[in-house]
Amino acid sequence: MLYQLEGSQAVARAVALCRPNVVCAYPITPQTHIVEGLGELVHSKQLENCAYMNVESEMGAISAVIGSEAAGVRSYTATSSQGLLYMIEAVYNASGLDLPIVMTLGNRAIGSPINIWNDHADAMAARDAGWLMVFAESNQEAVDLHIQAFKIAEAVKCPIMVCVDGFILTHAYEQVDIPSQEEVDKFLPPYKPEVYLNEKNPVSIGAMVSPTEFMEVRYLEHKKQIKALDIIANIGEEFAKQFGRNSGGLIRQYNVDDADVVIVAMGSVLGTIKDTIDELNAEGNEKFGVLSIVTYRPFPAEAIAKVLQNKKKVIVVEKAFALGRGGILFQEIELALKGTNVKVTSVIAGIGGRNITMSLLKESFKKDDDVTFLGLNHEIIREEEQRLAECNN
Amino acid sequence: MSSLTMGNRFGRNTTVQSSANRPNAITSGHRACQGCGEALAARCAVDAAFNATNGKIAVVNATGCLEVFSCASLESSWNIPWLHSLFGNAAAVASGVAAAFKLNPEKELRVIAQGGDGGTTDIGMGCLSGMFDRNDDVLYICYDNQAYMNTGVQRSSATPALARTATTLPNKVYNGNEPTVGKNVPDIAIAHGIPYVATASVGDIHDLEAKVAKAINIKGAKYIQIHCPCPLGWGHATSDTIKIAKLAIKCGLYPLFEAENGIINSTKIESFIPVEEYLKTQKRFAHLFGKNADPANIQILQKIANSNIERYQLGVIADE
């Protein structure tokens, strides 16, 4: 059924439809409305058989869901930015313990300087933590990806992070189709864990592993992630078949077949990029297409290469970068296209909530620069560098 | 089996440990040092909880000696459901486990979280306080050997005044751990208003088992801190673990009490011994003795003992 909803409320309702048994809440902007929404659903008994825990920190939040998942029940939490970094030790721990936790990451910049607005620095900080990671383009996709996320995580036996752009999606009101409980129940069966804390088979979970086996354990985790590519793709197809929306899977293409130049991006900026290339294509010089990365971990390098290997140029637009190195997604795309003649360039955009406008994008797509910091105010940079030089003299 | 154990079995007040069919929640063959107070305390505590619940317990363990020596390299000593996540989050993980078990009361297991003093009073304090605040149905047991033993005997907030650790090494101008630092976590636990807080010691197994057996069936958050001598970290003979724990009780430096709903009841001591008798058994206090040592330092520790005796009403100090 269609509702006019704030993104966070839509996510809260989607999560509730997945019947979690434990929800942990700790406030951090911009994910807070999601756990507030779930709290209301639990306390009004619209979501039953669910423990709602107000915890003392993000470390407490992730730790409590580690405990509840290890005890064999479906568990959910959400965080953003500094909160993700505060829990990062346990983020790695959760994946090492094979616990299918679902966590929303309301993407936000990381300080210092402190900044509450959207970019992808938080997600990138956790990209090697062994979690599956998917990025939502719209609020509808955020709803759909959360419903798929529980199924994916439980099938792969691995935690999953659903990345939803802070404010741009979490606080935006859009029309979204919220499926009925019957529909979600049909798609997502009750969780049946294989290994969990119980007295009949008293397992020890979380043993120390020595150098003689540690590498094998980590290698198998890596292999599990690679295998997850098929599982995520299949569950995406299954979802599309039942709900009529192609909102999961690994990657999505927009005008890619005819394109000379393909823009690659993740998350909510894809809408702006699609509008931009529509205008560019109408102008009629080069042909532009868009490749959306839906699943970032595991990285669908093969699927990406297959689509992009014969293109003239690929422009990677991303909302994060590694200081001292540059674009992160850019490097991964470049590596995926190793051995081809595709030129890959990098556009760093929207850092700390900076507006990404169509005119700026259009300008950067027409140029051939290796790296563009979109909308960077060169006047400020010049003045500051001059001031520092004077201070040092 | 020693004759003492045999004797215990025929006596009226038998311990769980002295019974022939003790649960063995943690089996032999683990990698603890000889004379480890923590291994002994954990066996007594978890077995007592096992007996008091007909085996319906699950344990969440913080990183530390106990975790490392009991569950390493694909071998586990635990005969109960056991979970290790991290160093500082055992209380929060246990809260999550308890929340999950509550959903299915028929299959509910009682939950223990346990760790050393570092994992509890330092790095675990935030999660522990959260667990107390929510009054989550968890018994948290702190095995207090008064320093970070697993990493090589560094100072924790439970390290006693003037003790030598690897990060408080005494020298000519420094007497070891500053007497003005440290925190009283049982008091902090009581201040959270939780239903049950206790201290215990491997020097009194009957008392330890009784407290665990009582606490495990109380609904809500519980905290028990158990004094566990560490031969390696404290510098004493491996055969003296229990003797030294008893001396700590008798001199007033480790007061045994329980607080049910905030009302403190302590174990009375008939006649106190001077703190020297306890201190001189351990190399971590060796710098307080000898010909160049300042006797004022011993007095600092005696004052701490006296203040415990008064505060927890442990008994009457005999006049000199």
Question: Can you tell me the ipTM of this complex?
Answer: 0.95
What is the rounded CA–CA span in Å between residue A226 and residue A311? 25
The answer to whether residue B241 sits within a structural domain is: yes
Pairing of strands A326-327, A51-54: unpaired
- Tell me whether residues B96 and A22 touch, CB distance under 8 A: yes
CATH number of the domain residue A296 falls in: 3.40.50.920
What is the rounded CA–CA span in Å between residue A133 and residue A126? 9
Residues A235 and A319 in one domain: no
Asked if residue B225 lies in contact with residue B254, where contact means CB atoms within 8 angstroms, the answer is no
- Nearest-CA distance from A57 to chain B in Å? 8
Total domains in the fold of chain B: 1
The answer to whether residue B12 sits within a structural domain is: yes
Residues A219 and A298 in one domain: no
Residues A228 and A299 in one domain: no
Residues A202 and A75 in one domain: yes
Residues A316 and A341 in one domain: yes
pLDDT band at B1 (very low <50, low <70, confident <90, very high): very low
- Nearest-CA distance from A82 to chain B in Å? 17
| CA neighbours closer than 13 Å in the CB half-sphere of residue B29 | 11
Q: Measured between beta carbons, which residues in chain A are less than 8 angstroms from residue B61?
A: 206
- Tell me whether residues A63 and B100 touch, CB distance under 8 A: no
In chain B, whose CA is at the least distance from the CA of A88? Answer: B86
- Tell me whether residues B98 and A67 touch, CB distance under 8 A: yes
The answer to whether residue A388 sits within a structural domain is: no
| Domain extent at residue A366 | 251-379
Residues A226 and A134 in one domain: yes
* CB-based contact, B31 to chain A, within 8 Å: no
The shortest CB-CB distance from A90 to any of B71, B85, B95 is to B85
| Domain extent at residue B220 | 3-311
The answer to whether residue A310 sits within a structural domain is: yes
- Closest to B233 measured CA to CA, from B160, B156, B164: B164
Residues A238 and A265 in one domain: no
Residues A223 and A306 in one domain: no
Residues A21 and A54 in one domain: yes
Name B83's bridge partners. A205, B60
The answer to whether residue B316 sits within a structural domain is: no
Residues A255 and A188 in one domain: no
Residues A40 and A184 in one domain: yes
Q: Cα angle vertex A275, ends A273, A278, to 5°?
A: 110
What is the rounded CA–CA span in Å between residue B129 and residue A116? 28
Q: Measured between beta carbons, which residues in chain A are less than 8 angstroms from residue B101?
A: 71
CATH number of the domain residue B153 falls in: 3.40.50.970
The answer to whether residue A345 sits within a structural domain is: yes
The answer to whether residue A386 sits within a structural domain is: no
The shortest CB-CB distance from B72 to any of A59, A70, A208 is to A208
Tell which of A243, A266, A281 closes a domain.
Answer: A243
Tokens standing for A160? 């999953």
Residues A176 and A98 in one domain: yes
Total domains in the fold of chain A: 2
* CB-based contact, B238 to chain A, within 8 Å: no
- Nearest-CA distance from A379 to chain B in Å? 45
Pairing of strands A160-165, A288-293: unpaired
Cβ contacts of residue A310 below 8 Å, gap of 6+?
A340, A342
Tell which of A220, A243, A266 closes a domain.
Answer: A243
The shortest CB-CB distance from B95 to any of A67, A90, A199 is to A67
Three-state DSSP class for residue A264: strand
* CB-based contact, B102 to chain A, within 8 Å: yes
The answer to whether residue A196 sits within a structural domain is: yes
Tell which of A176, A210, A243 closes a domain.
Answer: A243
| CA neighbours closer than 13 Å in the CB half-sphere of residue B236 | 23
The answer to whether residue B40 sits within a structural domain is: yes
Q: Measured between beta carbons, which residues in chain A are less than 8 angstroms from residue B84?
A: 204-207
The answer to whether residue A393 sits within a structural domain is: no
DSSP A86-145: HTHHHHHHHHHTT---EEEEEE----SSP--S--SHHHHHTTTSS-EEEE-SSHHHHHHH
The per-residue pLDDT string of chain A (393 residues; one tens digit each, 9 = 90 and over) reads 999 999 999 999 999 999 999 999 999 999 999 999 999 999 999 999 999 999 999 999 999 999 999 999 999 999 999 999 999 999 999 999 999 999 999 999 999 999 999 999 999 999 999 999 999 999 999 999 999 999 999 999 999 999 999 999 999 999 999 999 999 999 999 999 999 999 999 999 999 999 999 999 999 999 999 999 999 999 999 999 999 999 999 999 999 999 999 999 999 999 999 999 999 999 988 999 999 999 999 999 999 999 999 999 999 999 999 999 999 999 999 999 999 999 999 999 999 999 999 999 999 999 999 999 999 999 999 999 999 999 987
The answer to whether residue B90 sits within a structural domain is: yes
